[in-house]
Structure 1
Amino acid sequence: MIELIQVSKRFGDALAVDDVSLSIERGELCVLIGTSGCGKSTTLRMINRLIEHSAGEIHLEGQPVREFREEVLRRRIGYAIQSTGLFPHWTVARNIGLVPGLLKWPRARIRERVEELMALLGLEVEEFADKYPSQLSGGQAQRVGVARALAADPDILLMDEPFGALDPITRESLQDELVRLQARLNKTIVFVTHDMDEALRLADRLVVMNHGRIIQQGHPLELLRRPADGFVESLLGGADRGLKEAALLPVSQRMTALDDAPLAEQRVSQQATLREALSIMLWRHADCLTVVDAADTPVGQLSLRQLVGAGDARAAAGRTDTDQAAG
């Protein structure tokens, strides 16, 4: 869907992006992460030509981005940023309908699309449609920003630190919202963040950048287990990598079938993460949990020994490409 081929970007004598090659598949959520100034936002903005690349090629579905008229390209690609970029004197509904309006959609179709997206993002039409950005909380404004980016139903969505300015609770809520939306809409998303927990939680493909270059890319579990070098290991959390891995794996992957032994008093959902299960064990001083389904019916058990056991089906399935360093 998106391909960068030996792409570089210079600002005067400074090399911001250095010979980057990256292929992003249709429907993939690709997260670019690295320290400040590593080139991740510049890389993102070159995709929709907000910044022009200095060398190399960038293709969308096999076509060079420079063959598109800039305004046509940007209307085909949704773009959400940290500051939302909402027009302060426009209502929520008008902000969301911006791109469909530019595309000359009929008013009835725009209204229908705006209402559809507001419902999808948990914004009651009656309550929010006629409000102005200054009347919204940070989380509500960010939801409007995402809705506007999705308004013309683009195949590609670029997100540059979209949740970076939010408090932890709101940020986690919007991460959940994005995961839910992606499962439903299956967009191709390129997401920039400096928060590793956010990156691990969201990414199908994790791309680590440093000094304008890609150091390693692959599925989050692959990078956690086999970091390419000390920089990647440190960025992933160093000695905390085991806990970060546990936050990616569901209890259902480590639980065992019920036996004749009495059920453990403490319970955990089969959809909870191993990290959440470990937290319950530590908090409740328990070394075994009863695993329950959505109806609170026991379906298995999880011991501390099983929780820390090696291997998991998700990594074995090879959900994405193996680690690779881009030089």
Structure 2
Amino acid sequence: MIELFGVTKRFGAETAVDALSLRVEKGQVCVLVGTSGCGKSTTLRMINRLIEHDAGEIHLEGAPVRSFDEVTLRRRIGYVIQSTGLFPHWTVARNIGLVPRLLKWPRGRIHERVEELMALLGLPVQEFADKYPRQLSGGQAQRVGVARALAADPDILLMDEPFGALDPLTRQALQKQLQELQARLHKTVVFVTHDMDEALALADRLVVMRKGRIVQQGRPIDLLHEPADEFVESLLGGMDRGLKEAALTRVSERMLPLGPRLLASERIPYDASLSQALSLMLWHRVERLTVVDGEDIPVGELSLRRLLGGKSS
């Protein structure tokens, strides 16, 4: 869906992106991560030509981005930024319907699409459609920003630190909502963040950048197991890499069927992470948990030894 071939961008004497090559498959969430100034946001903005590259080529579905009219290109790519970029004098509904209006969709179709997206993102139409951005919380405004980016049903979604200004609880809620949306919509997403926990939680493909170059890329679990160098290892958490891996693994992947023993007193949802299971065990000083489904019905059990990858106790 997206390919970069030896792409370079300079700002005066400074090289922000240095001969970078990257391939993002259709339906994949590719997360660019690294320290400040590593070139990740510049890379993102070159895809929709908000910044023009100086050398190399960028292709969308096999065609160079420079073969597209800039305005046409940007209307077919959803774009979400940290500050949301909502028009303050427009209502929520009008903000969301911006691109469909520019594309001259029929009024009825725009109305239906706006209502569909508001429902999808947990923004009841009766409550939020006529509100203005100043009347929204940070999390609500960011939901509107995501809805606007999705309004014309683009195949590609670019997200530049979209949750960076939010409090931790709101940020985690929106990360989960984005995962749920992606499971339904299967967009091709390029996501920029400096937060490694966020990167690991969201990425199908994780791309670690440093000084305008890619240091390592691949599946998050592979980078955790085999970091390319000390920089990547440090960025991934150093001695905490085991906990990072546990956060990526679901309880359902390690649980065993219910045995003949009595059920453990403490319960954990089957879709919780192993890091949450370990935390629960430590908090309650237990070595076994009963695993339950969405209706709180026991479906298995998880022991400490099983959690750590050994045989069940």
TM-score interval w.r.t. the shorter chain? over 0.9
The aligned residue for residue 153 of structure 1 is: 153
| Structure 1: distance between partners of 2:288 and 2:142 | 41
Once the two structures are overlaid, the 10-residue window that deviates more, 294-303 or 39-48, is 294-303
| Structure 2: distance between partners of 1:90 and 1:260 | 62
Are 1:187 and 2:193 counterparts? no
The aligned residue for residue 307 of structure 2 is: 307
1:157-214 Cα distance to aligned partner (Å, 9 max, x none): 0000000000011111110110011001110000000000100110000000000000
Once the two structures are overlaid, the 10-residue window that deviates more, 177-186 or 253-262, is 253-262
Q: CA deviation at 1:238?
A: 0.4
Number of residue equivalences: 311
The aligned residue for residue 51 of structure 1 is: 51
Structure 2: gaps (5+ residues): none
Q: CA deviation at 1:297?
A: 2.4
Structure 1: gaps (5+ residues): 312-327
Report SS of the residue matched to 1:199: helix
| Structure 1: distance between partners of 2:157 and 2:280 | 37
Counterpart of 1:275, as a letter, is: S
TM-score normalised over the length of structure 2:
0.98
The aligned residue for residue 316 of structure 1 is: none
| Structure 2: distance between partners of 1:62 and 1:310 | 46
Are 1:80 and 2:114 counterparts? no
- The 1:310/1:7 distance shift into structure 2, 3 A limit, reads farther
Report SS of the residue matched to 1:19: strand
The aligned residue for residue 6 of structure 2 is: 6
The aligned residue for residue 125 of structure 1 is: 125
Runs of 4+ aligned residues of structure 1 deviating over 4 Å after TM superposition are: none
1:229-248 matches, within 5 Å, as 229-248=229-248
The aligned residue for residue 278 of structure 1 is: 278
Counterpart of 2:99, as a letter, is: V
| Structure 2: distance between partners of 1:231 and 1:66 | 35
The CA RMSD measured in Å over matched residues stands at 1.1
Report SS of the residue matched to 1:118: helix
1:100-157 Cα distance to aligned partner (Å, 9 max, x none): 1111111111111111111111111111111111111101110110011011110000
1:59-98 matches, within 5 Å, as 59-98=59-98
| Structure 1: distance between partners of 2:259 and 2:106 | 62
1:262-317 Cα distance to aligned partner (Å, 9 max, x none): 22111112111101110110010001112222232222221111111169xxxxxx
Counterpart of 2:271, as a letter, is: Q
The aligned residue for residue 257 of structure 2 is: 257
TM-score normalised over the length of structure 1:
0.93
What percentage of aligned pairs have identical amino acids? 75
